[in-house]
């Protein structure tokens, strides 16, 4: 499987991984097991997805059955917004490792550059965006405090690599000013409606690997009722023409568009056939014209914007 070599550790991050957001909890262990059996070697989880225990069960069963060895699987997880304070970040990473039933994450990301008021995990986990009163409560924890905890997770062997998600250039440059251990990966929303070339160029310049999420565009947001009413890329005419040229599915060419730019992808599917199909995107090439045709669909449409929940969280403003 093609991979990206991470700068600090030289560790290889697979170009295609399996996303765990909205993977059904009751079948998550089996889905993860079958994803590994089908050839996936990267699992993209997060505290917020509420299925780390089940994902860990699937991974550990696959290890016990000899499907994979732990060191062959790149496990990513993310620190949620309510745990940005130094001691909370340290404690939550430990709790998340316990849920997975593993000793280290290959990559641990700060999920959003947004600090929210602490919610004790024994009270509610995952805590999501809101307090018990249904309102968003911001907290004044600066990123340098959170980043110090992230660096110590590396020192302690709990994370091999650390990185950021949903962050823009100004924050990345600021973290680099004080980082003892630099962010190795940036995970961002990326699809032909949101092409983010300047951010990709900055990461390339800095040697930060990029993972794109929601590669299939609005589809992931349809079930949440927040797809912003744009035409679905999975039945878009331009995507259809590119798919026909390549002899592949709409989903495969959308994933290929990112991979061909050197961006890792982490498609999610609760359906085994689609999960297998999504893995098969590193053995064909899109023509330059087809790459351009997909990129020309850009409308700077951000489907995952916390400002839609509360304008005080306008991290992309």
Ligand X SMILES: NC(=O)c1ccc[n+]([C@@H]2O[C@H](COP(=O)([O-])OP(=O)(O)OC[C@H]3O[C@@H](n4cnc5c(N)ncnc54)[C@H](OP(=O)(O)O)[C@@H]3O)[C@@H](O)[C@H]2O)c1
| Residue 20 C-beta: closest distance to ligand X, Å | 5
Task: Give the binding range for ligand X (CB under 6 A) out of 4-12, 150-158, 197-205, 269-277.
Answer: 269-277
DSSP-H helix ranges across the chain: 25-38, 52-64, 86-100, 143-155, 169-178, 197-206, 219-222, 237-246, 250-259, 272-279, 288-295
Backbone torsion region of residue 134, taken as left when φ is above 0, otherwise alpha when ψ lies between -120 and 50, otherwise beta: left
| Residue 259 C-beta: closest distance to ligand X, Å | 13
Nearest Cα residue to 162 out of 140, 137, 187, 142: 187
96 binds ligand X (CB under 6 A): no
Cross-strand pairs, 232: none
Between residue 171 and residue 210, which ones bind ligand X under the rule CB under 6 A? 187
| Residue 112 C-beta: closest distance to ligand X, Å | 7
CB of 16 within 8 A of CB of 36? no
268 binds ligand X (CB under 6 A): yes
Comparison of 19 and 192: residue with beta carbon closer to ligand X: 19
SS3 107: strand
Phi, psi of 103 (to 5 degrees): -95, -25
267 binds ligand X (CB under 6 A): yes
Q: Is 123 annotated as a binding-site member?
A: no
Question: C-alpha dihedral over 263, 268, 191, 250, to 10 degrees?
Answer: 110
Q: Which residues are catalytic?
A: 49
What DSSP state is assigned to residue 142? -
Comparison of 273 and 288: residue with beta carbon closer to ligand X: 273
- Single residue of 9, 201, 235, 271 touching ligand X by CB under 6 A: 271
266 binds ligand X (CB under 6 A): yes
Question: Rounded distance, CA 56 to CA 203, Å?
Answer: 31
Q: Which residue is nearest to ligand X (CB)?
A: 19
Task: Give the binding range for ligand X (CB under 6 A) out of 4-12, 20-28, 114-122, 177-185.
Answer: 20-28
CB of 52 within 8 A of CB of 45? yes
Question: Rounded distance, CA 261 to CA 188, Å?
Answer: 14
| Residue 66 C-beta: closest distance to ligand X, Å | 26
Comparison of 119 and 266: residue with beta carbon closer to ligand X: 266
Q: What is the length of the chain?
A: 317
Comparison of 82 and 157: residue with beta carbon closer to ligand X: 82
Question: Rounded distance, CA 310 to CA 288, Å?
Answer: 40
| Residue 149 C-beta: closest distance to ligand X, Å | 19
Question: Known binding site for substrate: residues?
Answer: 111
What residues make contact with ligand X under the rule CB under 6 A?
Answer: 19-22, 44, 111, 165-166, 187, 213-216, 219-220, 234, 249, 251, 266-271, 274, 277-278, 304
Give the residue numbers of the binding site: 111
């Amino acid at each position: 499987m093609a991979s990206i070599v991470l700068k600090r550790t030289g560790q290889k991050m697979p170009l295609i991984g399996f996303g765990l957001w909205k993977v059904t909890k009751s079948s998550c262990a089996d889905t993860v097991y079958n994803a590994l059996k089908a050839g996936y070697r990267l699992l993209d989880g997060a505290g917020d997805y509420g299925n780390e225990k089940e994902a860990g069960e699937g991974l550990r069963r696959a290890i016990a059955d000899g499907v994979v060895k732990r060191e062959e699987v790149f496990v990513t997880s993310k620190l949620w917004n309510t745990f940005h304070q130094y001691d909370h970040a340290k404690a939550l990473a430990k709790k998340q490792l316990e849920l997975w039933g593993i000793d280290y994450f290959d990559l641990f990301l700060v999920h959003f550059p947004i600090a929210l008021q602490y919610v004790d995990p024994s009270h509610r986990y995952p805590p999501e965006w809101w307090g018990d009163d249904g309102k968003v409560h911001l907290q004044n924890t600066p990123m340098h405090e959170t980043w110090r905890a992230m660096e110590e997770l590396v020192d302690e062997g709990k994370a091999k690599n650390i990185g950021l998600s949903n962050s823009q250039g100004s924050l990345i440059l600021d973290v680099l000013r004080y980082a003892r251990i630099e962010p190795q990966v940036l995970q961002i929303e990326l699809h032909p409606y949101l092409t983010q070339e300047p951010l990709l160029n900055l990461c390339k310049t800095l040697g930060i690997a990029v993972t794109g999420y929601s590669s299939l565009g609005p589809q992931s947001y349809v079930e949440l009722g927040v797809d912003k009413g744009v035409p679905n890329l999975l039945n878009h005419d331009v995507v259809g023409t590119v798919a026909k040229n390549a002899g592949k599915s709409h989903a495969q060419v959308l994933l290929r568009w990112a991979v061909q730019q050197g961006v890792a992808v982490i498609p999610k599917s609760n359906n085994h056939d689609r999960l297998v199909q999504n893995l098969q995107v590193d053995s064909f090439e899109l023509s330059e014209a087809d790459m351009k045709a997909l990129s020309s669909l850009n409308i700077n449409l951000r489907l995952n914007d916390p400002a839609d929940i509360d304008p005080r969280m306008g991290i992309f403003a």
